[in-house]
């Protein structure tokens, strides 16, 4: 077996599975070095919103790269970062007045957790416990893993993870009862994936329950952190999932679609009280977090272009149209053999396929992925959970090809 020098994420190289080489992207498509075209049915791990190689974003990247590369962001600024901050202010609730830049969804979560703990320390009320939802996933750095579900993703690193308070998945009122009780113990914060758990199996819960959880936190003075890394930028049908519940969190994490999926960048939006807790003439009370590439100007230029697209183009109309098509396909998929719990939320559609071994390590996932790849569709099921999350530019013909490949895969695998 040929060994590669590259160690790919979430890949067991010992299985010898093929790794296509992608040489070009555009719109909803990826092209391999063999000339094959794949429909990107998962937005390349949920990041691509408007489509690959979007002309406005690509032009902004080229212009920025020709004039400005990395600048130390500690004690300095640049126009691209300021444009992102202004663009976010135009789209997001005014209560989220302060923008802290980082590099990825995981680091946005790390920043949020450190902000929450720093908030209480600065107030002379050290609170350390973080509350989380059962089955959640917030990233792969140590803090982000700590507030995610324990399982195969992080079992090897258990000695590094800090303890958290885990609440039931909020598909009924048991989560609210548990949250009410946990809040009496004066935790620092609750962190949630609003409305849908991503890597936890695309499990969905109603906006009313999200609103109720936020209200309980507010009543007890517990910080509410919304991890909108996957759910933001239109995926759930609105700019953020929190909008559907009328919730403005104390802290919000954004990444993935922040640059339209073109370059890595993240922001953690903080309310004034969180910022003010770190504001002082004492240097020891500053917020101690950074990375070398904080607010990279080229990535910020991409984000500013994306924000302009959101302000100037009918993005939510495209989101609504895609969501309607997804609902139509889920109505059909519900009748396929072995399919259960067909569901949609905005542009996201998902269902389970019955299997003797459910969960992330179900053999159905890789088998469906391989079958769909041969049919020109990029899919990456979460075990026996199949989901479709394409860029908003995907056409009806392409979507029909995606679901045709999935149906054929399911019927073929179940009959073999």
Compute the 3-state secondary structure of the chain and give helix, strand, coil in percent, each to the nearest 5: 40, 15, 45
SS3 state of residue 260: coil
CB of 262 closer than 8 Å to CB of 58 = yes
Length of the chain: 416
H or E stretch covering 413 = helix 396-415
- Judge if pTM exceeds 0.75: yes
- The reply to whether 315-415 shares the fold of 55-312 is no
H or E stretch covering 266 = strand 266-270
Domain ranges of the chain: 55-312, 315-415
List residues bridging with 227 in a β-sheet: 253
**Beta-sheet pairing, 348-353 with 385-388:** antiparallel
Query: How far is Cα 28 from Cα 52, in angstroms, rounded to an integer?
Result: 6
Taken in order 349, 354, 360, 363, the sign of the CA dihedral is negative
DSSP state of 347: T
Q: Nearest to residue 167, comparing CAs of 135, 199, 197?
A: 135
**Beta-sheet pairing, 266-270 with 98-102:** antiparallel
Instruction: List the structure tokens of 1.
Output: 């077996």
How many CB atoms are located within 10 Å of the residue 336 CB?
A: 16
Residue with tokens 């026996």: 384
Query: How far is Cα 190 from Cα 226, in angstroms, rounded to an integer?
Result: 9
CB of 105 closer than 8 Å to CB of 258 = no
Q: Nearest to residue 325, comparing CAs of 376, 408, 410, 395?
A: 395
**Beta-sheet pairing, 377-378 with 37-40:** parallel
Q: Up-side HSE of residue 337: CA atoms within 13 Å toward CB?
A: 8
Instruction: List the structure tokens of 125.
Output: 């009320």
Query: How far is Cα 58 from Cα 73, in angstroms, rounded to an integer?
Result: 23
The confidence score (pLDDT) of residue 366 equals 94
Q: Digits of tens for pLDDT over the chain (416 positions)?
A: 457 799 999 999 999 899 999 999 999 999 999 999 999 999 999 999 999 999 999 999 999 999 999 999 999 999 999 999 999 999 999 999 999 999 999 999 999 999 999 999 999 998 999 999 999 999 999 999 999 998 888 889 998 898 999 999 999 999 999 999 999 999 999 999 999 999 999 999 999 999 999 999 999 999 999 999 999 999 999 999 999 999 999 999 999 999 999 999 999 999 999 999 999 999 999 999 999 999 999 999 999 999 999 999 999 999 999 999 999 999 999 999 999 999 999 999 999 999 877 777 888 999 999 999 999 999 999 999 999 999 999 999 999 999 999 999 999 998 87
Q: Nearest to residue 231, comparing CAs of 206, 201, 255?
A: 255
Query: How far is Cα 293 from Cα 266, in angstroms, rounded to an integer?
Result: 11
Which CATH architecture does the domain made up of 315-415 adopt?
Answer: Alpha-Beta Complex (3.90)
CB of 41 closer than 8 Å to CB of 379 = yes
CATH assignment, 55-312:
3.40.640.10
The confidence score (pLDDT) of residue 1 equals 45
The confidence score (pLDDT) of residue 2 equals 57
CB of 80 closer than 8 Å to CB of 304 = yes
């Amino acid at each position: 077996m040929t060994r590669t020098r590259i160690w790919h994420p979430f890949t067991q190289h010992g299985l010898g599975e093929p790794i296509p080489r992608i040489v070009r992207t555009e719109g909803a498509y990826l092209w391999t070095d063999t000339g094959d075209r794949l429909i990107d049915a998962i937005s390349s791990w949920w990041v691509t919103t408007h489509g690959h190689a979007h002309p406005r974003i690509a032009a902004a990247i080229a212009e920025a790269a020709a004039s400005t590369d990395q600048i130390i962001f500690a004690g300095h600024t640049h126009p691209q970062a300021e444009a992102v901050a202004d663009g976010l202010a135009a789209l997001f609730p005014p209560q989220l007045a302060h923008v802290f830049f980082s590099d990825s969804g995981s680091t946005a979560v790390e920043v949020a957790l450190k902000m929450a703990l720093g908030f209480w320390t600065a107030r002379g009320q050290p609170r350390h416990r973080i509350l989380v939802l059962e089955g959640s996933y917030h990233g792969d750095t140590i803090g982000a893993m700590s507030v995610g579900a324990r399982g195969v993703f992080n079992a090897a690193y258990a000695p590094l993870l800090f303890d958290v308070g885990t609440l039931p998945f909020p598909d009924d009122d048991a989560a609210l009862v548990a949250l009410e009780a946990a809040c009496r113990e004066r935790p620092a914060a609750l962190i949630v994936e609003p409305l849908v758990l991503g890597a936890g199996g695309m499990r969905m819960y109603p906006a009313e329950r999200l609103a109720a959880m936020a209200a309980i936190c507010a009543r007890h003075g517990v910080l509410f952190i919304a991890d909108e890394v996957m759910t933001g930028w239109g995926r759930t049908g609105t700019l953020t999932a929190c909008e559907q519940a009328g919730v403005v969190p104390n802290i919000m994490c954004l990444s993935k679609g922040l640059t339209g999926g073109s370059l890595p960048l993240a922001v953690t939006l903080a309310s004034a009280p969180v910022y003010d807790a770190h504001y002082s003439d004492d240097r020891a009370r500053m917020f101690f977090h950074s990375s070398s590439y904080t607010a990279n100007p080229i990535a910020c230029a991409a984000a500013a272009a994306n924000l302009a697209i959101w302000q100037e183009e009918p993005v939510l109309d495209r989101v609504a149209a895609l969501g309607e098509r997804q609902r139509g396909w889920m109505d059909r998929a519900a009748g396929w053999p072995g399919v259960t719990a067909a569901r949609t939320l905005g542009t996201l559609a998902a269902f389970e396929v019955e299997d003797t071994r459910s969960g992330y390590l179900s053999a159905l996932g890789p088998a469906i992925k391989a079958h769909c790849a041969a049919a020109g569709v990029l899919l990456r099921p979460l075990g026996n959970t199949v989901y479709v999350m394409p860029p908003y530019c995907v056409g009806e013909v392409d979507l029909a090809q995606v679901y045709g490949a999935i149906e054929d895969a399911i019927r073929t695998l179940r009959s073999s």
